[in-house]
Homo-oligomer: A and B are copies of this chain.
Amino acid sequence: MAPSQDSFAPRREAPLFGRLAIIGIGLIGSSIAHAAKALNLAGRVVLYDREPEVRQRARELGLGHEIADSAAAAVADADHIILCVPVGACGPVAAEIASALKPGAILSDVGSVKKSVVEAVTPHLPEGVQFVPAHPVAGTENSGPDAGFPSLFLNRWCILTPAEGADPAAIAATRQFWEGMGAIVEIMTASHHDLVLAVTSHLPHLIAYNIVGTAEDLAAVTQSEVIKFSAGGFRDFTRIAASDPTMWRDVFLHNKDAVLEMLGRFSEDLAVLTRAIRFGDGDTLHKHFTRTRAIRRGIVALGQEKPETEKLRKD
């Protein structure tokens, strides 16, 4: 294999899929288009977005090989179709494209919630079409067709949640596609995915959105002071709280049970720390602050993050 122009993953000599259709041209959709084209993962990359101005912008950016004018036109004859729309839109889009899907095609998505997407999409699946749900655990604070870049998935996890009895060949092809973009693929059930992500992603996002809102409502501290002194910790929350509002609204509405369960535990734990502060119980605080360091070490050791001094020194 020849090194790709972007040199972050090898470019395939023969494409994995003949035609790839991407529905929804946001951060994830445009990043897949960049990577799939650059790495020759599909012979033809066709994109569609329901917003005319997004399609127009995608044409200006030269995303993929073609911007289709309808979802049905995009998916016609496609071998691999990826729904890159907010979780709540997956069902309606599946209903819209169902009759245009060709037998043997593999339908996939990129939703951050899996159980509700499976429930919404499965009833619309035509005979002979395989659904292999996917969730690339990658993102930035930016949204829209301009936000994408080909190495977004490099060394990031992509979780597949195929139903029991799904076609092994379809699962293998989907895995190859994501691995081709540099992702590390893991397979689990949709229910377990939703629980894992509730704690590693959904709860952190809700907390970050919440704390930024709390800061905004203060009268005694001005917004410019909050911005100025954000390096003390707040800054890290604002990055997360700048994520796409529609996408995240849908995530919380569609992973309600797991998120409410995590929120309940979080609030109970916070009550313990609050009480320790109120009554000056330094031992409880110190004990809690010590044990949380272990998880951080695990993350740095696994290479999912560099220790911060290294990053600072590079700046």
On A, residues with C-beta under 8 Å from B are 112, 137-142, 147, 149, 151-152, 156-157, 159, 186, 195-197, 199-218, 220-221, 223-243, 245-246, 248-250, 252-253, 256, 259-260, 262-263, 265-267, 269-270, 273-274, 276-278, 280, 282, 285-286, 288-299, 302, 304-305, 307-309, 311-314
Q: Are B269 and A229 in contact (CB under 8 A)?
A: no
List of B residues within 8 angstroms of A304 by Cβ: 227-228, 230-231, 235
Q: Are B291 and A213 in contact (CB under 8 A)?
A: yes
Per CB-CB distance, the 10 closest pairs between chain A and chain B, nearest first, are: A201-B232, A245-B289, A204-B233, A242-B296, A212-B292, A227-B298, A238-B296, A241-B292, A200-B234, A140-B308
Nearest B residue to A278 by beta-carbon distance? B260
Q: CA–CA, A241 to B204, complex, Å?
A: 13
Answer whether A269 and B233 are a contact pair too, CB < 8 Å, given A223-B295, A312-B151. no
Main SS at interface, chain A: helix
Q: Are A259 and B277 in contact (CB under 8 A)?
A: yes
List of B residues within 8 angstroms of A298 by Cβ: 223-224, 227
Q: Are B299 and A238 in contact (CB under 8 A)?
A: yes
Q: A189 → chain B, closest Cβ, in Å?
A: 12
Answer whether A313 and B149 are a contact pair too, CB < 8 Å, given A236-B237, A253-B282. yes
Q: CA–CA, A159 to B225, complex, Å?
A: 12
Answer whether A214 and B266 are a contact pair too, CB < 8 Å, given A231-B137, A237-B204, A278-B256. yes
For this complex, 20 residue pairs linking A to B, each with C-beta atoms less than 8 Å apart, are: A152-B312, A159-B229, A186-B228, A195-B220, A196-B226, A197-B229, A200-B226, A200-B230, A207-B270, A209-B273, A213-B288, A217-B265, A218-B265, A227-B295, A230-B299, A235-B305, A246-B286, A253-B282, A263-B274, A263-B277
Say which residue of B137, B214, B309 sits within 8 Å of A229 (CB atoms): B137
Q: Are A195 and B221 in contact (CB under 8 A)?
A: yes
Answer whether A226 and B249 are a contact pair too, CB < 8 Å, given A151-B312, A204-B211, A238-B295. no
Say which residue of B239, B265, B276, B302 sits within 8 Å of A296 (CB atoms): B239
Q: Are A140 and B232 in contact (CB under 8 A)?
A: no
List of B residues within 8 angstroms of A277 by Cβ: 206, 252-253, 256, 259-260, 263
Further 16 A-B residue pairs, CB within 8 A, beyond A138-B231, A201-B232, A209-B289: A139-B232, A142-B307, A142-B309, A149-B312, A156-B231, A186-B228, A196-B225, A197-B229, A201-B229, A210-B273, A216-B294, A236-B239, A241-B293, A241-B295, A260-B277, A263-B277
